[in-house]
Every structure is written in C-alpha cells, then in structure tokens.
Amino acid sequence: MLKHFLAGTIAALACVATASAKDAPAPPPVPDELSQYDFMVGTWHCTGTAFASPMMAEHATTATVHVNKAVGGHWLHATYDENKTPANSNPYHAALFWGYDAGKKTFVQRCVDNMGGYCNSSSAGWKGDTFVFEGMSSGYGDNDSGARDTFAKKGPDGLMHTGEMQGPDKKWVKTDEEACHRHK
C-alpha cells in the first residue's frame, strides 16, 4: 500500500511540476547595461601590494582573476585567487557577482572572501576609463565599514584595481592595489 501511495504522490508531483513549468513566465531579458562589464570578461594575471593592516603585514601579491558570464547571463562571476608565496603565507581568495539592478538603475557587486568577509556595493558604471563600486564591507568582527573598489582601464588588455576601506575616522585607506593584464 505504501509503495502505491509513494508512486502516486511522485507521479502527481511530476505532473504539477510539468504544468507549473509550462505556465511559468519567461525570465526577463538580460539588461543591455550588462554589456558595460564585457571588458572585464576573461582571465587576468595580477601583481600588486596588499597594504599593512591589523590583519597582516604589507606584502607583494600575485593572483589570477577569472571573470565569466553566469546565471543565465544576468550576472558576471569573478574569482580572485592569490598565490601562496613566502611573503604571502595566507593568500586572499574572493568570489564576486556583478550585475545590474534595472529598477534602481545601478550596477551591483556582491562578494565573499576566505576571511569571512562579505560586501554589498553599487556603481553608476564606467565614467571614462574608471568603474567604481562603493558600499559596505562586513564580517571582520563587529564593525561594518565603507568599502570601495576602483577599476581603471589601462589600454585594451590592462586594468588597475585599488581596494579601499573606511576607518573609524571615516577616512579612506588603501587596502590593496594590483596591475592586471589580460591572459591571451
């Protein structure tokens, strides 16, 4: 009896799922504004500096960044992976999603990292050769702080990134800076 009940329940759920899928609205089109991220798509090799902070001493960094379209083309997914070196025994790793909020007419960034931090920021998009995300960073103790990521194009295959956070005095302090070159 139980076997027939389970088989009937599974068949009914399959019918409901099929009917729901047929009646579901089509996903919205990918916003044209997402094309502003096209320059970022690809694999990048970066060298730079992580500046001294309460969490670490200043040190040189090398990293690989992968950026690709994801989630049906509505988002870009980026990973930043530093290399372990004698000077950088605890390399930084981050995952980011970049998208566009059509209702608010703003570009958005969501990120998480291997130190338990996360961010939520927004941007007006490219202003000349510069794209700036500004928002909040959390997860590093009980203090949220302002966070800013500035990307600047350096020719057709170059990009500079500068990370900044606001201190308790609300002054911006550089956390890191990298020169990145597109992998060919």
Low-confidence ranges of the chain (pLDDT < 70): 1-22, 141-142
**Secondary structure string (H, E, C) spanning 1-22:** CHHHHHHHHHHHHHHHHHHHHH
User: Is there a domain that residue 12 lies in?
Assistant: no
User: Is there a domain that residue 89 lies in?
Assistant: yes
Residues 72-96 have pLDDT tens digits of 999 999 999 999 999 899 999 999 9
Length of the chain: 184
Tell me what pLDDT residue 27 has: 81
H helices then E strands: how many in the chain? 1, 11
Q: Tell me if 147 sits within 8 A of 121, measured CB to CB.
A: yes
Tell me what pLDDT residue 7 has: 55
Tell me what pLDDT residue 142 has: 66
CA proximity to 77, closest of 101, 95, 65: 95
What does the block give as tokens for 124? Answer: 């007006």
Tell me what pLDDT residue 11 has: 56
| Cα gap 29→74, rounded to integer Å | 8
User: Is there a domain that residue 43 lies in?
Assistant: yes
Tell me what pLDDT residue 2 has: 43
CA proximity to 95, closest of 76, 108, 74: 76
What CA–CA distances, in Å, run from 41 to 53, 65, 70, 86?
Answer: 30, 10, 11, 30
Range of the domain at 131: 36-182
Token pair 């570009």: residue:
107
User: Is there a domain that residue 41 lies in?
Assistant: yes
* pTM for this predicted structure: 0.84
What CA–CA distances, in Å, run from 143 to 112, 117, 137, 148, 159?
Answer: 16, 11, 9, 16, 30
Residues 38-47 have pLDDT tens digits of 999 999 999 9
User: Is there a domain that residue 157 lies in?
Assistant: yes
User: Is there a domain that residue 103 lies in?
Assistant: yes
User: Is there a domain that residue 15 lies in?
Assistant: no
Domain count, the chain: 1
What does the block give as tokens for 107? Answer: 């570009």
Tell me what pLDDT residue 137 has: 94
CATH label of the domain that carries residue 88: 2.40.128.20
User: Is there a domain that residue 31 lies in?
Assistant: no
| Cα gap 99→118, rounded to integer Å | 16
Q: Tell me if 140 sits within 8 A of 117, measured CB to CB.
A: yes
| Cα gap 159→58, rounded to integer Å | 22
